[in-house]
Structure 1
Amino acid sequence: MKTLVVEKDGSLSLHEVPIPKYSSKQALVRTISCGICNGTDAKLIHHTFKGYTKKDYPIMLGHEAVGEVVEVGSEVTSFRPGDKVLLPFVDPNPELYGNLGSGWGAFSEYGIVNDPAAYGSGVPECAFAQTILPDFVDPVDAAMIVTLREVLSSIKRFGIRENQSVAVFGCGPVGQTFIRFLSLLGVHPIIAFDIVDGKLDDALAKGADYAFNSAKVDVKETIRGICPDGVQYVLDAVGMLSLINQAMEYITDAGKICCYGIAPTCELNLDWSKAPYNWQLQFQQFPSKAEEGEATNQILSWLKTGVIDLKDYISDYFEFDHILDAFKQLEERKIAKKGIVVYPRP
């Protein structure tokens, strides 16, 4: 099979490698689609993803795939051939792949899912998010569900609830998703900020009560004009390290600064001299797969009832043979929303 690899120098190439082996508790999946992540994927390419060093490269890339089960292990009861499933991965395997590591390896033509029911104990955490898709969901567009449920599970982890105030910084694909889901969950007011005017109308359409260009307004005065005591939550959806100190002046007493976006560096001189006496800082940058799995039913319910439409979050589709061009467009910031890589069908 072919798999997309990040080389030691950060370049991308397609490698021909063996199809992964599966155990009695696993199933083999033929990939249908995989989303391009402008956070994790880009940082892995640039060697800035925490936990990976240059000695871990080369690595197989990708973590937002959908596939069709083609073979199942002898102990598998939850999957059967033909099922469409979320989140197949390809793990490192020195016997098959030598020194080729894995950044989850979902940009491969085949992957593996685990059956939780086949494990008495020691279920791999990813198994809880490797869920079967219902027939009403397009399996190509379904790659977007991976991001959607990451966002929904993170809202719950942050503790943001109905009728609480939040300022969202960053109105890219992830920020727009946060805004839409916060609105659906009854969070109010939602104040959105970005430095690109064109994204502000999208934020309002997704459910923001207010949207401002943070380069053109005094952010503190703007927030305090709407919420005189400050907002209960500031949510960083883009990974802007400087926002943490700035947000000290935006939050109310006992307010929380929520960091979802992954910053390019992990060091900061923290200055809370302008913060309220009581405040919190929470990082949620590696979603729990168990919590993702729990969020799946709500996402599917919204899809089935038409409350959300996956195509609203997707701007580009690329054939797998053109995946290198897809990542070139990502680097050039030409993918407006989510880009989906589509694999050839047998």
Structure 2
Amino acid sequence: MQQVRAVVARAQGAPVEIAMINVPDPGPGEAVVKVLTCGVCHTDLHYREGGINDEFPFLLGHEASGIVESVGPDVTGVAPGDFVVLNWRAVCGECRACKRGDLHYCFATHNAKQKMTLADGPDAGTELSPALGIGAFAEKTLVAAGQCTKVDPAARPAAVGLLGCGVMAGIGAAINTGAVGRGRSIAVIGCGGVGVAAVAGAALAGASPIIAVDIDARKLERAKAMGATHTVDSSVTDPVEEIKRICAETYDGADGADVVVEAVGRPETWKQAFYARDLAGTLVLVGVPTPDMKVPDIPLIDVFGRGGALKSSWYGDCLPSRDFPMLVDLYLQGRLDLDAFVSEEIGLGDVEAAFARMHGGDVLRSVVVL
């Protein structure tokens, strides 16, 4: 058992705080990881606001890189000293999805069985709920060994750690879920970290045109820097009509984009994405809605008549053991600019301020460096 500093959300809506926590020695199938970096993701804010569940207190943080410090019995996939990116899809290998070869749809992904706990104060011993089963706003964390994905140690930790959630979600939404590629067009509605990552993924895959849509000029500029061929300010321009116009200029007869990625998670933008598709086009929802949101009122004949596919992208439909090393290699080759996603490096005590900057749209990612 070790005691380390960590960022804890004790109650819904309350500011996060630094607390001492207990990290157990790893048991069977588990690993203790010394955290090097962890990105501040909007999902962490969802946890703090009670938007995920009410299992407070939460140990926040999940977009992380680190060094494996120790492993439990029977762990063979990673060893002490390995540089890893943490993931929240430790596949079981035994469920129906895994047995048919669809490991990225594993029905029984798992986390560490032991619980980290608060170490001091009147609630010492209280079990913590780690964000997405990781809890990496901490000097060290306990995870399932399958949540550790080995990558090239030459990579910058602050950059490649972001593959642990948002960047992978966006790239995967475009490439894995949307199956975008050469000869296909894509529009991305919402250009925060996930949306800009979808733009980057589309550029990697050779899509054209790549249309970025947002109401914030700063976000549109970031999208352009990551490969968007066109930008649309939807605060002044109808994005559906503009997407259709741009695609028709590129492909004669096109009536929208082949793939539209919705990276906001709101009914209004989902509806825009629905109608911005070409016939038989694909809509990919990767923005996370709140539980109260409903599918917008769309005539069923429009769903039937436009054809295509309406998909949700969970973690970019990624398989970490396959996708993380590949994307890190592309980064080291200079073909994927993960450094561009790191807006600032901060300390553990700066997470609450980073949440405020996230609301203002000033950053793609604040990254805690330990």
TM-score by length of 2: 0.79
Query: Is it true that 1:284 corresponds to 2:313 in the alignment?
Result: yes
Residues 1-346 of structure 1: pairs in structure 2 closer than 5 A = 1-11=4-14, 12-38=16-42, 40-49=43-52, 52=53, 54=54, 56-87=55-86, 91=112, 93=114, 96=117, 97-103=125-131, 104=133, 105-115=135-145, 127=146, 129-146=147-164, 147-154=166-173, 155-228=175-248, 229-264=255-290, 265-272=292-299, 274=302, 276-287=305-316, 291-331=319-359, 333=360, 335-343=362-370
SS in 2 for 1:281: strand
Letter of the structure 1 residue corresponding to residue 321 of structure 2: G
Question: CA distance change for structure 1 residues 217 and 91 in 2, over 3 Å: closer, same or farther?
Answer: same
Matches of 1:44 and 1:239 in 2, distance apart? Answer: 16
Question: CA distance change for structure 1 residues 311 and 41 in 2, over 3 Å: closer, same or farther?
Answer: same
SS in 1 for 2:75: coil
Matches of 1:235 and 1:88 in 2, distance apart? Answer: 22
Letter of the structure 2 residue corresponding to residue 132 of structure 1: K
RMSD of Structure 2 on Structure 1 (CA): 2.5
Match of 2:120 in 1: none
Question: CA distance change for structure 1 residues 114 and 91 in 2, over 3 Å: closer, same or farther?
Answer: closer
The question of whether the paired residues in 2 share the 8 Å contact of 1:68 and 1:84 is answered with: yes
The question of whether the paired residues in 2 share the 8 Å contact of 1:261 and 1:285 is answered with: no
- Count of residue correspondences: 324
Letter of the structure 1 residue corresponding to residue 363 of structure 2: A
**Among the aligned pairs, what percent are the same residue?**
26
Matches of 1:85 and 1:245 in 2, distance apart? Answer: 39
Structure 1 residue 93, shift from structure 2 partner: 4.6
SS in 2 for 1:135: coil
Letter of the structure 2 residue corresponding to residue 139 of structure 1: P
Match of 2:93 in 1: none
Structure 1 residue 5, shift from structure 2 partner: 1.7
Task: For structure 1, list consecutive stretches of 5 or more residues without a partner in the other structure.
Answer: 116-126
TM-score by length of 1: 0.84
1:101-127 deviations in whole A, cap 9, x for unaligned? 232312122123444xxxxxxxxxxx1
Structure 1 residue 287, shift from structure 2 partner: 4.8
Match of 2:97 in 1: none
Letter of the structure 2 residue corresponding to residue 2 of structure 1: R
Letter of the structure 2 residue corresponding to residue 153 of structure 1: G
Question: CA distance change for structure 1 residues 137 and 80 in 2, over 3 Å: closer, same or farther?
Answer: same
Deviates more, 1:73-82 or 1:103-112: 73-82
Structure 1 residue 9, shift from structure 2 partner: 2.6
Structure 1 residue 88, shift from structure 2 partner: 7.2
Question: CA distance change for structure 1 residues 140 and 168 in 2, over 3 Å: closer, same or farther?
Answer: closer
1:69-116 deviations in whole A, cap 9, x for unaligned? 22232433333322221117885756844343232312122123444x
SS in 2 for 1:249: helix
Letter of the structure 1 residue corresponding to residue 309 of structure 2: Q
Task: For structure 2, list consecutive stretches of 5 or more residues without a partner in the other structure.
Answer: 89-110, 118-124, 249-254
The question of whether the paired residues in 2 share the 8 Å contact of 1:68 and 1:83 is answered with: yes
Structure 1 residue 2, shift from structure 2 partner: 2.1
Match of 1:123 in 2: none
Matches of 1:252 and 1:210 in 2, distance apart? Answer: 17
Matches of 2:322 and 2:243 in 1, distance apart? Answer: 33
1:168-199 deviations in whole A, cap 9, x for unaligned? 11112221111111011011111111101222
1:35-87 deviations in whole A, cap 9, x for unaligned? 1102x1121122223xx2x2x22221111111112223243333332222111
